[in-house]
Amino acid sequence: MIEIYLRKPDFAVPIRGSKVPATEAWLHEVKYDGRRLMVIRQGERVRLISRGGGDYTRRFPRIVDAARMNRQGRFIIDGEAVLLGDDGISDFEGLHSGKHDAQVQLYAFDILAMGGNDLRELPLSMRKRYLGRLVATEGVPHSEGIFPAPFERGELGPDLFRKVCEFGLEGLVSKHVERAYSGGRCNHWIKVENPAHPAYRRVQDQF
């Protein structure tokens, strides 16, 4: 068993930016408004751990069941627990109300370990391939609680951000495709927020 499964997760945290990168070195994911979690599976044991160290395993059974359904017996996935409405937009208030816990899913955007392999030192482009194989083809369909974050790459980032704002979504997170996974604030993950979204106002109210 490798050490990463035993330690408290060290989350990568994006820095805030005002401009979406527009080169082939970056990929872009829609930012969903939810709760950041890592899903840690070791055999039959599954844990859902938040950035603050909280254990959400009992609260979100759909994610836990999806992790147990996977053919791979050990892995760590980084993602966002979300409650999606019929329009596909995440419902932050509904998620945190606790009234819809059985419907909460994981929007998975990175993988730190699989089997006996620590994947953190691999470039993001390779980790995305591992994540795609784990989630998309090894027994965890979207309907069962874990789904991979779609992404676009390159120069269309600013155009994608404009569309995100038009649809009322939270924003984009842009990530450098050649960087390793590193815990804490990292300048190779850049979050650009939609100023009209409620999440933007919540952040402003903290200052």
Confirm whether 4 is domain-assigned.
Answer: no
**Secondary structure element (H or E) that encloses residue 66, with its range:** helix 61-69
What is the Cα–Cα distance from 116 to 73, expressed in whole angstroms?
Answer: 10
> Which pTM does this prediction carry?
0.90
**pLDDT tens for each residue of 79-103:** 999 998 877 788 888 898 889 999 9
Confirm whether 78 is domain-assigned.
Answer: yes
Residues in the chain: 207
Q: Residue 1: its pLDDT value, please?
A: 58
Q: Residue 138: its pLDDT value, please?
A: 46
Q: Residue 6: its pLDDT value, please?
A: 85
What is the Cα–Cα distance from 55 to 85, expressed in whole angstroms?
Answer: 25
What is the Cα–Cα distance from 36 to 31, expressed in whole angstroms?
Answer: 11
Range of the domain at 42: 11-205
CATH code for the domain of 193: 3.30.470.30
Confirm whether 6 is domain-assigned.
Answer: no
Confirm whether 119 is domain-assigned.
Answer: yes
Those residues of the chain that have pLDDT short of 70 are: 1, 137-143, 199-207
What is the Cα–Cα distance from 166 to 4, expressed in whole angstroms?
Answer: 40
Cβ neighbours of residue 74 closer than 8 Å, sequence gap 6 or more: 1, 5, 41, 42, 43, 113, 114, 115, 116
Strands 35-42 and 45-50: antiparallel
Confirm whether 49 is domain-assigned.
Answer: yes
Number of compact structural domains in the chain: 1
Q: Residue 51: its pLDDT value, please?
A: 94
Q: Residue 2: its pLDDT value, please?
A: 80
Q: Residue 158: its pLDDT value, please?
A: 93
Confirm whether 5 is domain-assigned.
Answer: no
Confirm whether 153 is domain-assigned.
Answer: yes
Confirm whether 168 is domain-assigned.
Answer: yes
What is the Cα–Cα distance from 112 to 130, expressed in whole angstroms?
Answer: 10
